[in-house]
Each structure stands twice: as C-alpha cells, then as structure tokens.
Structure 1
C-alpha cells in the first residue's frame, strides 16, 4: 500500500453535464427560465424589466432591467459563481429587498433558453460585456470556464443589465399571451415592480400580480387573516400568513384551481389544496395565493430547486400544511353557506318565494326534509338555475308556509279567521276566532235571536230552522232514509253544541301562552278543532231553511 503524502489533496471536480442537468433540463420550458431572469432583475432592485422576444428574422430573447447593475468584480465574485448562497453571505440589497433566490442556480436557466448568451451590465460607471457559450463550455478543458469579455467605457452603457440570448433551443413561435399568464402565476411581488413582455417590438403586455387572475371573475373572496382569526387551531407563524382565496360562479379550468404558495414574491409551491380530499365541488371553483415569506428564513432549505414544491415530509412544513388545510376547510364551509344563500336569493327573486322565510314557517318534521331537498339542488351544479327554480316552486306548492294548516284544506272562512293567530303560534285564540266566525254565520243564516250560543245551536239544528241535508238526494233521485237524515242533522247539532262548550269561557292572553307552552292546547289540538269547525262550516254552507 502506497504511503499518502501530507501535501496531497482530495478534489471534487465538476463536469459541464452539471450545468446541463441543473440548467438545460430543469428549464426546458421558456416561462420558468424567463422567471429566473426576471427574479434576478428584482433582486437587482429594478423597478421594471422588459422581456423582448423575437422570432424574425432571428429567434432571440432580450431581457433588460433598470436595476443597479454589476461591476466587473461583482460579475466575477457573484454572478459567475455557481451555487453561491447570497443570503448566507449576507449580501445587502441597496433597496432593502429580500433576495428571491438563495441557491445560486437560477442563472443556469440561461442555458435552458439558448446556447449563446451575452450579458452587458453597468452601475452607471464603466460597464462590462461578456459572452457565455454553451458549446464552448462543453469542450472546455479545465475546471474554471473563462468567458470572453470587454470593458465598456464610462457613459457607453446605461445603468442596469441587458441579457441577450441567441441560438435558441426553441424552434416554434412564442405564444406571448400564454407566456404572460404563465409568468404572472410565478410571481407575487407586493412592491413597485412590473414586467413587460413583447413579441417583435409590438405593444408590450404588462405583467403584474393582477394578471394571474385576469380571466377570473370572483364570486366570493376571503382574506386569509380573517379566516385565521376564526380558526381554532394554532400555528406559531400564523400572523405572517397573508393572502387571498377566491371562488368563481362556474367551475374553473383544471389548471386554474388550487392555492399557490409564495415566499418573498416568488412561487415556492404549485397550486394545491394541502392534502385535503378534492371530491367536493368546492375544489373546482377555488383558487388564490398565500404568502409564507417566513419559510425563507428557516435554517433548513425546504424549497425545491425548481421552486415547484415544498418538502412536505419535513416536520415543520408538515405542521404548516396541516394548518393551511384547516384554513381552506373553514373557507369551504363558508363557501357552501354563501353559495346556498345566494342561490336562494336568486330563486326567491325569480320564483317570487322568500326561501329563508318559507323554511322558518315550515313544521319541524317537514322542514328537515325540505331543507335536504333544497341542499341537494344547491349541491348539484349540473342542474340549471331554471330547473332549480321550477323544482323549488313545485316543492313550495306541496309544502307551503305553515304546511300543517294548508294540508287541512280548511274552509276559506275558517282559514281567514284563524290564520293570523295560528301563524303567531297563538293557537287557542286561532280556535276561538274561527269559532266566533262559525257562531256568527249560524246566527246570520238562521235568523236566530237566541242569546245563548249553545242553546242557539240546539234550537237551529234540532228544530230544523236550518237543514244541512235538505238539498241532498240519492244517486237514483230518491230520498235518504229518515234515520240517516236524522243522524246527520243531530250530528250537526251535537258537534256544534260541543265545540261551543269547548271554547265557551275566554281565557287571559297569558293563559293562552301557557296552554301552548305546556301542550295542554297544542298546535295539533288547534288544527283538529279547526278541521272540525271547517266540517261544520261546510255543512252550514249547504244548509237551507225547511
């Protein structure tokens, strides 16, 4: 075995393939690659950045910002160092922005776009322009690549940075409208920073935080902090969680649903619902964003290199995910209620039925069943609003307000006399008022002057001042047997006398309440008496003088 010399070293070497896998492969799609260059401009304190795409006469991409630019030394010490973590080095931002990147790999996105890159940068003094050539890097001998550069005299280049990419990998055209929306979804900057995208120097498309929801019309909207205020679960950094969740009236496209997570203005997790079951309709209508800047301050890096996902297997992120899921669950429940209320309002207007008021006035037994049907209608988006409206109308006809009263099919006079008191749950008064109406009609129709109500009933029906059977014959035209007639006439008399005795002695209003509360004279008792009075009233309507 050979002896190891003390001055020998172990060396880790890096092949160009490293750049290939971290740059070319990871940023094969243009929007994420452009996003890295835009993020660099933001970190450089730019207020605006122009992304210019050209597909004629030559395919190329130019990214220009008005940031602080770089000196020759900064290019060498910072930009050209792959894997440098600027946060660990505590490099201060002149404008106080928190850097969006910390892995030092974003610059490799350049090679995901094109093979030849020119970078011209200046801090307002002398500038530097240098080229990065992918094919040259692949064939480079040695561990340190040395790009060609030139120094630009003072005043020859404006403050900021211009990156020009040629020999592009993309062979097809540039759908700028799609790109603008895709890029907008990758950022959520809260300060004054705007991106402009153009094709062949045509009119610029302004890309800001609003653009990501340009084609979405919110129906309902929630501020996360307001949800956190009612969330019984706790989380250490809950005050630092900010954002908006919104839902639409109609289902969203599949690629538009979910809540995107951002940290310091950049996406760190693609849209999702944090492990919640997505079988509910809610998840087809919900979208939004949440800022969780604090995770960038964690010692452990939990954000994937391509900024598509958070490592949810980590203990701290797992706790965060559960808390976010609890917030979304609260929003889902509120959404159901809000949507139900809105639908009921729309149906109320179109069908001329106050659904809320209707529900309040249904008997408890029936109310639960009707509510179940109405909720099923609400939870079936396949049904049009017109179909829902027609169904509600039919349901209302079957079970209207005060359905128990309706289903008794009372004579109109009895219903009119008792309805107001019945609806106020003053059941004994409802009965008494209907009874008074019956007594009054008997006296009026018979012409009786008897002062005793019970005695009057005996006098009118036993002495046949009114006959409730006179107009009736058998189907063959012959008379009914005398005993049948007598039984029915006496039945009218005795039932009339009995019901008069049942409501003969008026009680105080408080006593009426007590009768109802204790069940001594319940809603059902009232309805039973009203039904009997309705029967007697019908006979009275048929009655004739002998």
Structure 2
C-alpha cells in the first residue's frame, strides 16, 4: 500500500475541474482524450444514474507514474512513447488537467490502473469535498483485482478505468442520445489511419462523420482539396464548390495547412437534436479533438442563413504553433491572440460567401417550398405565369423570407401564410409602376401619354397607401412586442437587444435604418467585438450591444442595454456608465479608420437602463443624480429607461393604436385549390 499526494492549492480542483465543464459531453471528451493520448485503441463509456465509467486499454500508469504525472495538477503534459504497435499520436491534451473533468460529472471517482508487466491493478478513490477542503491531499493506493462489473476487461495487459459515483446530473435516454451526438462531433479520428474505437453502452460511435452529413445540400471547402472525399461523405449534397473568391484567403489557409468545409442544410431542424440542441455553428478541430465549439461566436449576425449553416475545420499545425491558445474557461480559442483573430476574420469571410450563395440557391427553389394548397392554386399559378423575369426574381426573394419561417419546426397558421403570400403578390403587382414610367418616357402620342400618366398616378397612390399601412402595422406590432418583453421581469437582455436594433425608431423617433446599403455592417451591427489596445501587449475585449448608422448622424451610434431588472450586471452607477462608454469609444476609434483623430465625445451613446432607475432618495435600485445626468449629457451620453421608450412610442402612435382595436383586415387567398379564374 502506497500513499499518493496531490498538490491542489488555490482551489485548483474547483477551477480546473468542476467549473470548466457545465455539461456532460465536454467533460467526458476530456477523459476520452486522456485515453487517446495514452495510446488506447478501445474506450468504453458506461452510463447510468448511479455511475459513469470510462474504461480504456491504453498504457495505464504505474505507481511511479501516478506520483510524477497524475498527482501533479496543471503541469505540461509529458510526451508518451507509442504503444499498442501504433504510430505516434499528437496529444490532444496539453496541461494535464483533463483528469479533473471527472469532478464535473460526480463528487467521487475511483481509478483502476494497470501498466504493462504489472500484476493486478492499482486503485485509489478521490473525493471532491475532501480535496477542496485542503491544499495537500493524500490517498492510499492499493493493489486489487477488478470488481465484478469490470471483469470483462480483466484480460487487458494494461489499461485505465475511471468510475464516477455520486453523479451530478440525471442520465435519461434523451441525455444519452445527446451525449453520443456531442461526443461524435467533438472528435475527428479517421479509423483507417488511427486505430481508436469509442463505445457508449456497448454501441460503437462514429468519430469521422456526423449524422448531419447526409443532410448537407450545398458545401464550400477550402485547404487541401485531396483531403476531402466529398461525394462519399456528403451523399445528398447537390452542389460542391471550392472557395475561390479571395486569393489571399485561399493562400492563408494553404500556407497554414488549415482545411475544412462549411455547408448548408434544407431546414434548421436538420441541425438540431431531439432536445433542441443545435449544431448550427463552425467548429475547430486539432489533433482529432474539438478546440473551439463555435469559432464565430464573436461574429454573430442576424442573417437568417446562420441557422442553416454548419462547418468543420481542421487546424492541427496552426493551434500547435500557438502558446496557450485555449481560454482559461476551456470554452474555445482565445480570440485576444492576433493570430486567432485573423483566423476568425478569414473564416467569417468564407461564411459570408456561403451565405450569399445560399441566398441565390434558396431563391431559385422558393416556390417549391410553398404549401401544396398554394402551389396548386390555379389563380396563383396563373398570376405567376404573368410575371416578368424581374418580377419573378423579386417574388422569389420575398418568398424565401417566408419559407425560412415555414422551415422552422413550429406550427404555422394557414391563414397567416396565405395572408403573407397575398401581401407579397400585392407588392409584386406594384412593381408595374417601373414599367409604366418606362412606357411613358418612350411614348410620343400625347393622348397615350396622358392615359399612362393617370395610370401611373393611380399606381403610385395605391403603393403609398399600402406602404404606409404596412409601416404603421409593423410599428404597432413592434410597440406591442416591446410591451410584452417588459411584462416579463426576467426577459434576457439579448431579446431587448434584437428588438431595439431592428426598430431603432423606438429609441429615437427620427432614426431610420437605410437598408439599401450594400453591406450589412454599414447600417447595423449587434454584439460587435472591438478590442481596446491598452499598450504593452495588453488588450481589453469590448462587445457593443448595438451599433447603428443612421443618415441623421455623422458617426455610428453606440446603444448599450442593461437588463430590465435592476440587479447584478444591470445595476450600474455613474462611474460604471462612464468607464464602459469610454472603453467602447476608444476601442472604436482604434479600429475604425473613418474615426481616427476625432474627439471621442463626437460618438453618440444611448445607455438604456431598467425602469427601476431614478433620483437619489426616490427608492429606486439604480440612482442617477441630476448632476451626474448632466455630466453624462455633456459627454454626449443619454440615459433612457425602457418604460420611457414605451410611453413615448405609445404617445406617438396613440391614434393608430385606437384604430387597430376597431379594424382588423386580414388579406387571404380567395380561390381554392383547383378553382379557375
């Protein structure tokens, strides 16, 4: 019997084990990665509500190795000599902290270890509560035979077993299914090149393909073309394309030996589990294991296509060249590293290319996605046949927006769909104004010109009525939605952010987004990332909630939102507002060329706080004095409250709100399927 001493100062077990993994799959992935690094060829995971076991046939650890490797937390992982007649494997882990992932799964775990030439197994048990109560923790290591539940592995000449008890999360059938899918995506190991089998409850898991592969319809790949046998991997893809839009980006991926693909599916549902978890993101893999679950998380945008997109990128050499590439939270690559930021920018440009092509492809098939009752409606078919080529293109574009709603896995009211199709048809009909103008300019006969002029005036009047009515209807709906969000005190800040960014007139009545800009970022950005350079290679990340460009203001406007509950992060004082705004402005000036040299006060800032905000002594949780408000205003910083925004919007549209209560007009398709005109 031997004593094994763990050095666990500074709450290492909590910080490096339990707190790093909020769900089961990433914690299991760390333990599987340890087995891979130990040159195991077979790993078995057994799941139940009582325990979780991970069993491998790798090198195992002798008592000396347990002392010099396992018991030292956070040391650089030592290189292992190939084993099991395998070629050298590049290690998935670096810091030797993956073992502590077991404490994310349960409070107690028992280890069984056997190295080559060792008779019997070594065993010891670690207890989370005991380990977190002291800096040095000693456990007894005993020689033993495997317990009955592991007898089938008795023939292993070497191996390592971790049995976790006092589990922290319930393991249901749905949970098991999710674990299988998540683990499959967290590894990319080609069995033909590396012998490594992973089983969960006796069922082998595919580690070189994911279930959404046969749902990819359009795919763009980059890097080494010979690395992809695309036809066999993606059997239902209708279109393959190698990225070639930007030579510099192509060369970037080639020079750094980074290769991968980004693809699109038919529906968002194709990228979701039964429990609703989505795979609609782009992952980075290194040495066979996931290094970042969502590499473009800092580049989020509001484009519909994002929920249809998935991608996998292999960057072994790139990540190996970085020092400490993973964030301290183990959630992904550290985007404060310039090389990582460059990688993210280039991948984002490829994604934008995929989205642009996706838009074109979707529009070509927009009518096919309509419900059968509409597609087969004679009146609708006759109307479609009367359209010009330009009208058809525009109709398809509008229908594509509708089809994105139909793609969602939620019930859609038939009348609402019919109403939308009817409205789209009305919009297309009014495009004839362009044709009337063209005819008017060509016609020389005065009487014909006069007739065309009357038609044109009538058409314009109808169009203006329709546009005005639609605008009012949209704005009334926006007011109602803001009121609904405010009624729920725990509404996430993100929902307010999305709603106000789409309706900036709620914040300032005269603001209007110019949606004719060629680039989305010319008018609106959500959660835009700006890095503030503090000097001496020290950077501070800044995420702007909303950044708006409007014709009425010379410079972009920053809108910062806090939750509509005056607690936690949302409970701010004057200094919080001042410091946050100062960082935002300076980071923007550093990054945006057009802003170089301007006074930071010229960038207008709107700070939106909870309605539980008032003067000192008023009983509000957030207190801003008159002097503080005036000082902020002198720095071009305005304070708004959610209830003030709602009150002003209701005041502006009071008459329309009253009218809406009395009149409800729902346009509908008038003819049934099979009915002729």
- TM-score bin (small chain): 0.5 to 0.7
1:343: how far off? 3.8
CA distance in 1 between counterparts of 2:398 and 2:429 reads: 18
What does residue range 80-479 of structure 1 map to in structure 2 within 5 Å?
Answer: 80-86=71-77, 89-94=78-83, 95-127=87-119, 128-134=121-127, 137-138=130-131, 143=136, 145-150=138-143, 158-170=156-168, 172-174=170-172, 175-191=175-191, 192-198=195-201, 204=203, 206-211=205-210, 213=212, 217-225=215-223, 227-234=242-249, 237-239=252-254, 240-252=257-269, 253=272, 255-273=278-296, 275-343=298-366, 367-381=389-403
Contact 2:218 2:263 (C-alpha < 8 Å) held by counterparts: yes
Q: Deviations over 1:475-534 (max 9, x none)?
A: xxxxxxxxxxxxxxxxxxxxxxxxxxxxxxxxxxxxxxxxxxxxxxxxxxxxxxxxxxxx
Pairing 1:69–2:60 present: yes
Count of residues in correspondence between the two structures = 372
Greater shift in the superposed pair: 17-26 or 94-103: 17-26
Is residue 121–residue 162 contact of structure 1 (8 Å, CA) maintained in 2? yes
What RMSD over aligned residues (CA atoms) do the two structures have, in Å?
4.2
The superposition leaves residues 217-275 of structure 1 with CA deviations (integer Å, 9 ceiling, x where unpaired) of 22323323454444333376502222232222122457331111211122221225354
Displacement, 1:290? Answer: 1.4
- The superposition leaves residues 42-85 of structure 1 with CA deviations (integer Å, 9 ceiling, x where unpaired) of 11222321101233xxx122211122333333333222221122
Three-state SS of the structure 1 residue aligned to 2:267 is coil
Distance in structure 2 (CA, Å) of the matches to 1:331 and 1:110:
39
Aligned partners of 2:42 and 2:56 also within 8 Å:
yes
Distance 2:109 2:321 in 1: 34
For the Cα contact (< 8 Å) 2:190–2:207, is it kept in 1?
A: no
Structure-2 change in CA distance of 1:303 and 1:23 (3 Å): same
Gaps of 5+ in 2: 1-6, 147-152, 224-240, 408-416, 440-677
Q: Distance in 1 between matches of 2:400 and 2:23?
A: 41
**Of 25, 32, 49, which residue of structure 1 is paired with 2:26?**
32
Structure ranking higher in strand proportion? 2
Deviation per residue, 1:399-441 (Å, 9 max, x gap): 99xx99xx9xxxxxxxxxxxxxxxxxxxxxxxxxxxxxxxxxx
Q: What CA distance in whole angstroms lies between the structure 2 residues aligned with 1:231 and 1:160?
A: 51
CA contact (8 A) 1:351 1:393 kept: no
SS where residue 118 of structure 1 aligns? strand
Residue 490 of structure 1: aligned partner:
none
In 1, the alpha carbon distance for the partners of 2:400 and 2:133 equals 66
Q: Please give the secondary structure, in 1, of the residue aligned with 2:143.
A: strand
387-396 vs 98-107, greater mean Cα deviation: 387-396
Cα distance in 2, alignment partners of residues 378 and 141 from structure 1:
61
Q: Secondary structure at the match of 1:271?
A: coil
Point out where structure 1 has 5 or more consecutive residues left out of the alignment.
1-12, 408-546
The TM-score with structure 1 as length reference comes to 0.58
- Report the TM-score when normalising by structure 2: 0.48
Look up the SS of the partner of 1:381 in the other structure: helix
Tell me the distance in 1 between the aligned counterparts of 2:106 and 2:162.
9
Distance 1:126 1:291 in 2: 38
Sort the Cα spacing of 1:307 and 1:265 in 2 relative to 1 into closer, same or farther, 3 A.
farther
Q: Which of the pair has more CA radius of gyration?
A: 1
- Please say if residues 109 and 125 of structure 2, whose CA atoms lie closer than 8 Å, have aligned partners that are also in contact: yes
